[in-house]
Structure 1
Amino acid sequence: MAADVTLLTTKAECDQALDSLTKEKATYAYRDYTQTYADGRATERATTVAAQLAKATDDVAHYTTEAARTGLTPVELRAAKRALIAATSRRDNLTLSSETTSGPTAYLADVDADQVDAQIATLD
């Protein structure tokens, strides 16, 4: 529903309303830009974390095999076990980092984005 412009009775009122609407639109346009930017950065980060997670998973498999190899000296076995512990820790941390936002946080972000989109459309 369009706003009732008959409420504005003078040119000064029209200018004041237009100035306010222009500022408000700039604010919402900025919010829209930052949301889009944040979405792009999140996508880039997810891609990077996925690659790092794949590498860490491969490392866990490699060091698991290495630690199970027969004929290792006690020093080599300890080094393989340490490497396995480090790789497992890295993989587990990356797994936590790669979990997507869900539930109320994701829902509220969608609501906020919809509100910004609707406000920009109204101000246009």
Structure 2
Amino acid sequence: MLASSTVDQDRRAQWLRGVLDLCVLGLLARGDSYGYELAQSLQSAGLGVIQGGTLYPVLLRLQRSGLVTVYWREGGGGPARKYYQVSPAGRTVLAEASGQWSAFAGGVGAILQERTAP
């Protein structure tokens, strides 16, 4: 059973690497957010626990590519937080990639649901 669990975790990690950028853009399209809040939203969506060592490089990559902008906002009783916001270019990429993802996921779903006749 342990081997199956490890295989399942490895498979999930591979899937996540392929879609994490798109998921982060999707969340930011709903509203500005900071890293911890994004990680919580990803977990709530069923993607599992996303560590900072995974999430923050994605955010930096999105920022450097111009798909996300950042700004600082004072925290309520704590230090200022770095907020992320999807840029107009990010919205364009998100719209294009969302359609591509839907087609891809539909194709995968169709293959996985096919059953051969006995």
TM-score range normalised by the length of the shorter chain? 0.3 to 0.5
- Between structures 1 and 2, the one with greater strand share: 2
TM-score by length of 1: 0.32
- Between structures 1 and 2, the one with greater helix share: 1
TM-score by length of 2: 0.33
Larger of the two Rg values belongs to structure: 1
Higher relative contact order (CA 8 A, sep 6+): 1
